[in-house]
A and B are shown apart, each in its own frame.
Chain A
Amino acid sequence: MNANHPAIPVPYVDAAQRARAGQLGMWTFLATEVLFFGGLITSYVVMRVTYPAAFAAGSRHLSFAIGTTNTLVLLTSSLTMVWAVALAGAARRRAAIACLVATGILGALFLALKSSEYHDKFVEHLVPGNAFRLPAGDPPALQIFLFLYFALTGLHALHMLVGIALVGWMVVRLGRTPAPPPDNAPELVGLYWHFVDCVWVFLYPLLYLVTPS
């Protein structure tokens, strides 16, 4: 503990410095995430240029309706997240908690829809690996498209799970009595949530909109 400011842990000298560190830490972390997804998206681009027909066919095997609904669900969850951060900053705890709960529910809805899509692929034997059955008339590289589909959306879903856990943690934290001193933790969770949304904004056209027909 710091002698001058008992509430501020080492190594910080004051709350503003601590908040700055948290912010920069989160932005730096998100930069590593960009590169992490970037490696996979690069693989996607190279393979798509190599097998344009297979990627168009693969895109047609995905459910355009579910993908589009999920995009709307996630964009709405970002809206509720923005409200939650603003309300938490204005010390309106109950309203902030309501918005966070809404964010979490929308996130869970996204994952539920995603799971049903995954389920369909299992049933149709379109999961890459030993059980994969190439549908008649499709090029063999369809499997590569589906592999990248599962890798990208699976990694994204993993990030969604972490995001929902963080939102739950924020709800618990804001619900505590007596109220903890306000800090920038909701803002940091918000940054992460929006990032995961942004990833989906890239994945949706890459995977679902290869052929607009």
Chain B
Amino acid sequence: MRVTTGMMSNKYIKSLGKSANELYYLHDRVTTGRKFFTGSEDPVGAIKAYKLRREYRLTEMYDSSIRDVESFYTSAETNLMQISGNMERIYDSYLRGITGTMSADDREAIAKEMDNLQQSVLTSLNAKFEDKYVFGGTSREEIPFTLVDGKLQFKGIDVETMDETTYNKLVGETINVDLGLGMKFDDSGNVNTDTVFNMSMSGIKFLGYGKDNLYSLIGEIKDKLRDPDFSIDDISPYIEKYEQQKKQVLVNATDIGAKSNYLEFLELRNTSNQDNLNAKILDVEYVDPAEAILDFSMQRYAYNAALSMGNRILENSFIDFMK
């Protein structure tokens, strides 16, 4: 093939441009650590990257949700321990009160103490954590446990006259959160409860409903203590009921403990998911620094060689040797 000076210089300029382009590209790789800068450079990598990023973003969200629920449960546990402690003290007072050797004044003193403790239990039941009532089910704006004319109401419904259906509905209130259990809805738009975490706690569950609810029970014990015709036989039957309710509180406390453990497990699992995804993202989107620097150095070498070649290619022609 006939090769002319013009062809040589054209081709040289073209390949020099190509080489410089490649050099800057590899330079960008080294400085940013990225494998590609636009999706069109590596469409398949981009598809993977978008997917991994979405999944990673989800694990971040799960992580913060799990922590939120965890601290909610810690608060619930604290309050429940307080309630449990108060009930223990009421139980002590109750045992002292029924000995029968006490005077009416002494009994009044115990009843007073019970007043305070009863109030204290109510306060604990209405405890708030981050604007939410811990034992109020879905209540957020209205105080869940209120006293109307001395009668205890839960969410505006009288506890003593509450029937079983209402009770079940109230206990069944849910505050579902998505903690990465694969939340699913069925066709009629109801969430599959196995796929979400229910963080709702109804105080009424361990307070009980009807005549024998804990609050009314304490009230009645108080009344009996204050009764001028006080007799041990009158007050004794309450001990069994009371012990039963006290046990309910403890059962709920253990339940919360178990859920806390489960949350810890979820957090751990989520963190390990996150680590895996992070490793995958690094693999898909980022270069090994050593490799990037090596590539860059090799290209710089090639570019410099091309530059120094240029002088030699275009140096002499026959004209330079004519006499």
Does B associate with A? Answer: no
Which residue numbers of A lie inside 8 Å of B, CB to CB? none
